[in-house]
Structure 1
């Protein structure tokens, strides 16, 4: 009889739910959605990492709950950067690729993940890193092993042989050692690379549809993949529920990638009328990465680039923002993304002022590009990008009103990622 009673008591103890963790946030001003005017003093209640309720005024704090007093601050949704490279650093020697290990890259990524989160970016889309490094970081931040943003990761980009994204610049035996199996030729092989990336755990597919500025290949910024190869990549990815981000500078490569059905054009430097028309017709967003040009301009001034790279840098600098302005005017969605690692991590929010001053966005439009617009691009519009009941508790606080002056976002005072405060 006693043993049966002990078994019943044990079962009850096991079945008893853990006490919910409740955090009450008093905001001086609340921007719940970038498209709507700010609210006055408000109370946000977070239960087990999710927003439970939003009420006007500063409500009483329930017994056992934690209070976060931000009554002198503006609280708004955590920011989203849709183009980062957490495991990379600006200004390094390109030959480091033959020396640095994946373990080292992971440690560098952990440092940069924290810098990025402290800058107010609670979700990022990483568009190029070794799978071993970035997938480990993705798990570590998600499981709170290390502090950092939520990570949506592509892993290695899929490239043409010898193109941007492949190993270039080394002697043949070194390149053979460094090859990572991410290249393809022909539609069948390119679709195969997509399926392999999906099997390895990629959240999306990244392709260099054109040449790149910072790779050692010196053949300009024109189209890389054939039309058939790009279509095969997109079709294979979409059949698996994966979106495709296309690094693209040259106009014809942008146009071909858009016709193939990619979901976003990254950079888009030389997009002309035909390229923008193709983007609009096929529903591709533009991620202009204006901070990348800040980074390469600084690098050029310091003389850190090889001659092949320096020539490509000069090609791009007088075009900064022109394509983004034209795309916005044509109704193409312009989404926030910075290409961190081309400039120092943590300066992501400097992109906002460039979107306003160069592209012509209003502060509200620029903020929406890094919240609701970015959330839609990464298919997380019901999870992040707004402050609303049921959404993840991804929140930041700043002084002032970013709907009037976006530069206040360059200094973030408080950050919460999935209900966890980043110290």
Structure 2
């Protein structure tokens, strides 16, 4: 009687329950790239326990009893890809006036749809750098809770903007602009610091601000510096004091240089990066996230009526700059992190950025894979969690038929994905 009771209690204990509940997966691989900067392993088996890598063994080693086997033995396994710049809660080609019609709830639905598409494309981590109101946070939290499949998300919420600048609502009657205002604009260092604190209060993982004008917004204020030097420093200093990194949207050369001097963690786009801007970025240990794919995607839509004449003029102004920012940054010694600006083009095409980085930026396929794994993980502050395949890290894994360190196009042809230990179907 006592023996039976003790056995029952042991089975009901948390420790026993944990043992029974462990989910063990054994993934057979033809080759394994554990670190994009290192030579690949030959045939191997990756053991995943409760979403984390617990071992990478030779293929000849036995798999744990009771483990679920996944056969990828004809393919190369690599760390899951990281896109440092996406906009999940919107689709490309949507008329700007839809801002005044579509609900925040609808943008969450878009975000969940696009998150799954993005994960299926091989991107197991993304940084969402601009979403309406709280929608980006809702998408992040729904995926984290396990309700929906998708990548790990770092969300910025609404980008900070000058009044009337890129990121502020414009193009409507003043009463409509006021109704759609997201409380994300600021003037002066004190007010800009307050906006950062408010973003932190809402749950932002990162601060994004539009240091310069932008291409797709309905404003004709140019593509160079918008925020003052003092305002930029206030944003960066305040964010860093709260443990938040800062991403600066910047196209024009002097806006890029000013953002770099202010100490931003990354410059996004960097279309007109010149020698002075690149040197400032390197000197202040900032990263460039070049986002080349929108050049291709926006060119595909020119003349189709997808953009207003004002936006078309700005698109044409930067089309000749594709890749030049990468060349300038690399010459100065500034690091490159992979990012695409998905949402300007169709979600799921993210991997096509890789071949553009090779063709127009002069990078090798291995350098591109580094930028999309260990490089982006370092920028996002996630190196302890992802970016390489090793015991203790999250099981963020992709499979390709070819070798992505030799052929950058493989990143647009991902065949199988596991994000935090869950296969993305």
SS of the aligned residue for 1:318 comes to helix
Provide the residue aligned with 1:132 in structure 2: 134
SS of the aligned residue for 1:45 comes to strand
Are residue 13 (structure 1) and residue 12 (structure 2) matched? yes
Alignment partners' CA distance in 2, 1:414 and 1:406: 17
When normalised by structure 2's length, the TM-score is 0.96
Provide the residue aligned with 2:215 in structure 1: 213
1:257-406 superposed matches below 5 A:
257-406=259-408
Aligned 8 A contact 1:26 1:58 in 2: no
Provide the residue aligned with 1:50 in structure 2: 52
Cα deviation for residue 11 of structure 1 reads 8.0
- CA-to-aligned-CA distance 1:263-319 (integer Å, 9 cap, x gap): 000000111111111111111100000011112111214232111111111110011
Cα deviation for residue 12 of structure 1 reads 6.5
My pick for the range that moved more, 403-412 or 258-267, is 403-412
SS of the aligned residue for 1:371 comes to helix
- CA-to-aligned-CA distance 1:159-188 (integer Å, 9 cap, x gap): 111100000110001011101111111101
Alignment partners' CA distance in 1, 2:179 and 2:144: 32
Aligned 8 A contact 2:275 2:332 in 1: no
Aligned 8 A contact 1:375 1:385 in 2: yes
Alignment partners' CA distance in 2, 1:17 and 1:368: 40
Aligned 8 A contact 2:115 2:151 in 1: yes
Alignment partners' CA distance in 2, 1:59 and 1:396: 22
1:59-74 superposed matches below 5 A:
59-74=61-76
Cα deviation for residue 39 of structure 1 reads 1.1
Alignment partners' CA distance in 2, 1:185 and 1:119: 40
Which runs of 5 or more structure 1 residues have no equivalent in the other structure?
A: none
Alignment partners' CA distance in 2, 1:166 and 1:55: 52
- CA-to-aligned-CA distance 1:113-164 (integer Å, 9 cap, x gap): 1110010000000000024211111111122211111101001111111100
Provide the residue aligned with 2:194 in structure 1: 192
Cα deviation for residue 8 of structure 1 reads 10
Q: Which residue of the other structure, out of 32, 35, 47, is the alignment partner of 2:34? A: 32
Provide the residue aligned with 1:234 in structure 2: 236
1:115-126 superposed matches below 5 A:
115-126=117-128
CA RMSD of aligned residues (A): 1.6
SS of the aligned residue for 1:370 comes to helix
Q: Which residue of the other structure, out of 93, 97, 100, is the alignment partner of 1:98? A: 100
Alignment partners' CA distance in 1, 2:381 and 2:303: 39
Cα deviation for residue 322 of structure 1 reads 0.8
Alignment partners' CA distance in 1, 2:75 and 2:5: 53
Alignment partners' CA distance in 1, 2:361 and 2:169: 34
Alignment partners' CA distance in 1, 2:175 and 2:7: 67
- CA-to-aligned-CA distance 1:30-57 (integer Å, 9 cap, x gap): 1111001111101110011000011122
SS of the aligned residue for 1:29 comes to strand
Q: Which residue of the other structure, out of 256, 279, 297, is the alignment partner of 1:254? A: 256
Provide the residue aligned with 1:415 in structure 2: 417
Alignment partners' CA distance in 2, 1:313 and 1:58: 55
When normalised by structure 1's length, the TM-score is 0.97
My pick for the range that moved more, 187-196 or 50-59, is 50-59
Alignment partners' CA distance in 2, 1:182 and 1:49: 37
SS of the aligned residue for 2:321 comes to coil
Alignment partners' CA distance in 2, 1:104 and 1:249: 30
Cα deviation for residue 403 of structure 1 reads 1.3
Provide the residue aligned with 2:111 in structure 1: 109
SS of the aligned residue for 2:77 comes to strand
Provide the residue aligned with 2:83 in structure 1: 81
The 3 A distance-change label for structure 1 pair 301 and 32 is: farther
Provide the residue aligned with 2:151 in structure 1: 149
Alignment partners' CA distance in 2, 1:61 and 1:6: 34
Alignment partners' CA distance in 2, 1:140 and 1:58: 40
